[in-house]
Amino acid sequence: MKRTKIPVTLLKVVVSLGLLGYLLCFQIDLAQFWAVVRQARWGYLLAATLLMVAGTALRAVRWQVLLRALEIEVPLRRLVYLYFVGSFFNIFLPSGLGGDAVKMAELAQSTDRAPEAIGTTLVDRATGLWVLFLLALLALPFSGDLLPAGWLPLIAVSAVGGVLGGWLVLASPLVPWLGAHVRLPGQEKMERFYRSISQLGYPALGRACLVSLVFDLLLIAFNVLVALSFDLRLPLTVFLLFTPLISFSLALPISIGGLGVREQTYILLFSAVGVSEVTAIALSLANYAITNLVVGALGGIIYLIFNTQELASHD
């Protein structure tokens, strides 16, 4: 780790520990929390886990669509491997995107095309978030009675901002125009990176968004199953509105693995629809346990097996 990044990482550790400490000491009753956890229905959690494992493999298909648009052929098996390994490193790397850096580095090393590896990894992530915001936007007209006054305009602004922001970065001429008129430090590297993703074209982005739609529906179903495991039955539109906001909060590089940030986001959102703080925390930690610990542990096992086979092949 570069020395300049150590203070930033330490700050993220402090943010995560501080938010979790405040949560445990001042926000929830631990006895009530454990009572909620003990009543969880494990069948729903198992089904949610299977959905998340399938979704992790599905995202590799989306990544392959983007790479093929740049004439980079990588076997799907390799991309699935990188996605699970990225999930493993997400357990302890900064923000919810630490595993993406590992995927970028591995793919850049094997293809010798670093800008494209970085670009497709980021676009892969961005298309999933963009489709989530689009689904939230479509759900807004059917959500008038679900949230307190003032919430729908706030979510509407967030959804519109997410949809427009994604389009401006991925598909509009705005970024190339700015590159031609504004000079910034390190701009040559940024222009090389952007050229790599601008070559994707609308057909590839469209196919990636279609795969993202399937994955995002799986993600929403996953969140519904986790809620059902705690006997929480909410309208589907609640999950369509909240899932992109939760995903966006995890992408913020201000914590370790999204810990602390995820929990506060769940409390903020689900308390608006009458869910207790204790149950919201249970939802959040169940989400973390499955998406980070269980899928991450599976990625760690795959990583160990692959590297053991690699070592054996060199002996």
| Domain encompassing residue 91 | 29-314
Indicate the pLDDT class of residue 151, thresholds 50, 70 and 90: confident
| 157 CB-near residues (< 8 Å, 6+ apart) | none
19 lies in some domain: no
Domain-embedded: residue 15: no
Task: Please say whether the dihedral angle defined by the alpha carbons of residues 198, 202, 207 and 213, taken in this order, is positive or negative.
Answer: positive
From 63-77, 108-122, 166-180, the region with the lowest mean pLDDT? 166-180
Range name among 78-82, 141-145, 207-211, 255-259 with the lowest pLDDT average = 255-259
Task: Work out how many domains the chain is built from and give that number.
Answer: 1
Mean pLDDT of 183-208: 69
In the block, tokens 């097996």 appear at 305
What's the confidence (pLDDT) of residue 13? 66
In a domain, 24, yes or no: no
Q: What SS3 string covers the chain?
A: CCHHHHHHHHHHHHHHHHHHHHHHHHHCCHHHHHHHHHCCCHHHHHHHHHHHHHHHHHHHHHHHHHHHHCCCCCCHHHHHHHHHHHHHHHCCCEECCHHHHHHHHHHHHHHCCHHHHHHHHHHHHHHHHHHHHHHHHHHHHHCCCCCCCCHHHHHHHHHHHHHHHHHHHHCCCHHHHHHHHCCCCCHHHHHHHHHHHHCCHHHHHHHHHHHHHHHHHHHHHHHHHHHHHCCCCCCHHHHHHHHHHHHHHHHCCCCECCCCHHHHHHHHHHHHHCCCHHHHHHHHHHHHHHHHHHHHHHHHHHHHHHHHHHHHHHC
pLDDT at 64 exceeding the cut of 70: yes
- Residue 14 covered by a domain: no
Residue 264 domain-assigned? yes
Question: Which of 98-102, 168-172, 189-193, 294-298 is most confident?
Answer: 294-298
**Mean pLDDT in residue range 38-61:** 95
Cα–Cα distance, 98 to 88 (Å, whole number): 10
In this prediction, residues 49-70 reach a mean pLDDT of 93
The answer for residues whose C-beta is within 8 angstroms of residue 254's C-beta and 6 or more apart is 12, 15, 95, 261
Does 113 have pLDDT greater than 80?
yes
In a domain, 2, yes or no: no
Is 141 within 8 Å of 122 (Cβ atoms)?
no
Answer whether residue 20 is part of any domain.
no
1: pLDDT strictly greater than 50: no
pLDDT tops 60 at residue 294: yes
pLDDT for 182: 53
The answer to the question of residue 12 being in a domain is: no
The model's pTM is 0.85
